[in-house]
Amino acid sequence: MPRESANENSGDQVNARMPRRHVLRTAGVGALGLGLGGVAPTAVTMPGSAPPDSHVKPDPTPEGLGSVVQAPHLPPGFTKTFTSRYINTGQLRLHAVIGGDGPPLLLIHGWPETWYAWRLVMPTLARDFKVIAVDQRGVGLSDKPKTGYDTRTLARDMVSLMEALGYQRFAVVGHDTGMPIGYALAADHPERIDRLAVAEAFLPAVTPSPPLVGSAQVNNRLWHIPFNRLTDVNEQLVRGRENIYFGWQFATKAVQKLPDYAVTHYVQILASQRDALRGSFGWYRALDTTIAQDQQRKMRPLTLPVLAIGGAGSLGANVASTMKLVAHDVHSVVIPGSGHWVAEEAPQQMLAALTAFLAPYRDRARRAQPQATA
């Protein structure tokens, strides 16, 4: 795994301890699968889109745990391109890390991560795209309401976020729980999504479920799903032991071990506020509703191009097998030497796959951009 240099900010070391104020704030499923502030250049607007950021009202700049300011070991120059933003969608306030120049590209993280999961691929993507790496509802610095964790609502959150930033059409990359959200976006809002890349997850009501009593390997990879769906008792068991539960999840689903500082960062966010655990489990507790929604969605196969990415040490080609059940145009990439956390374990291979897949989207935007006259 490439070395990451220290962040230019002196705040890099803040995460070595729990914050004094609570500012805050994929499920790796094994064989079956279950970032802008005002500092970047002006984005290219896709045809039919409003000017980017044209009607976004100013909001406080996020500076607490979970923001760019306190993110450890960011790539060199990261904070010159990316800033944390609060975006009011009308229904809730979302946190996003935004930067770059080009057509809009929405990155949706998985469980139990935040926008920080994309940090190693964001600088390169920002050369060609306006990158928006969001914290999902209930996660990181985004609002944590008690309801709204089904994928229809989560997809609507993403549409509202992009509208607030001035974008009517965009491309999406979703990992882990971000994969079902990305699928819901493409299925529920086909006029909004140009291309969809997904990684390392299953789709409720689409991917075949494993037996209740399966192999030890499958059980080790999947037991968190029914556990996360429980009411109250999972929070009671995990609270105060976040490092044990979430640390185990990161360790057992990786081929290339994630750096200790990254795992510590995620754990500190999850332990920093009582609502953080509830928000973290929200996606799983809404699975009954999402399953009913997916039963309807799968009747209308996707027609847009889809890239399905799997780690060879995790889901591999099963991601593409799942997407082929709900989409006509699916491209498959299996990343060797990677487990579940593909954007962190194998960022260069992930970038290569995304760059090739997103090139037509990028090139159309460039052709649509007005040419300067002499």
Distance CA 204, CA 127 (A): 35
Distance CA 272, CA 114 (A): 14
- What pLDDT is attached to residue 30? 33
DSSP letter string, 292-335: HHHHHHTTS-EEEEEEEEEETTTTTTHHHHHHTTTEEEEEEEEE
Q: Running DSSP on this structure, what letter comes out for residue 176?
A: T
Looking at per-residue confidence, does 164 or 31 come out higher?
164
Is residue 134 over pLDDT 90?
Answer: yes
Alpha helices in 108-241 (DSSP H): 122-125, 151-164, 178-188, 216-222, 224-228, 233-238
Sorted by sequence, the CB contacts under 8 Å of residue 367 that are 6+ apart come out as none
Sort residue 97 into left (φ over 0), alpha (ψ -120 to 50) or beta: beta
Tell me the per-residue pLDDT of 44-58, one tens digit each, with 9 for 90 and over: 334 334 444 445 456
- Hey, which residues does 307 pair with through a beta bridge? 197, 331
Looking at per-residue confidence, does 184 or 214 come out higher?
184
Is residue 34 over pLDDT 50?
Answer: no
- Assess contact for 170 and 105: CB atoms under 8 A: yes
Is residue 121 over pLDDT 80?
Answer: yes
Neighbour tally for 183: CB within 10 Å? 29
**pLDDT, mean of residues 99-120:** 98
- What pLDDT is attached to residue 159? 98
- What pLDDT is attached to residue 51? 45
- What pLDDT is attached to residue 214? 80
Tell me the per-residue pLDDT of 192-217, one tens digit each, with 9 for 90 and over: 999 999 999 999 899 888 778 888 88
- Assess contact for 82 and 251: CB atoms under 8 A: no
Is residue 13 over pLDDT 80?
Answer: no
Distance CA 219, CA 210 (A): 9
Is residue 170 over pLDDT 90?
Answer: yes
Is residue 23 over pLDDT 80?
Answer: no
- What pLDDT is attached to residue 41? 33
- Assess contact for 260 and 15: CB atoms under 8 A: no
Is residue 17 over pLDDT 80?
Answer: no
Predicted confidence band of residue 371 (pLDDT cuts 50, 70, 90): low
Closest CA to 287 of 357, 231, 332: 231
Tell me the per-residue pLDDT of 340-363, one tens digit each, with 9 for 90 and over: 999 999 999 999 999 999 999 999
- Assess contact for 123 and 146: CB atoms under 8 A: no
Alpha-carbon distances of 245 from 46, 91, 223, 239, rounded to whole Å: 43, 31, 12, 9
Tell me the per-residue pLDDT of 246-295, one tens digit each, with 9 for 90 and over: 999 999 999 999 999 999 999 999 999 999 999 999 999 999 999 999 99
Is residue 21 over pLDDT 80?
Answer: no
The helix/strand count (H/E) of the chain reads as: 14, 8
Predicted confidence band of residue 176 (pLDDT cuts 50, 70, 90): very high
Distance CA 127, CA 338 (A): 25
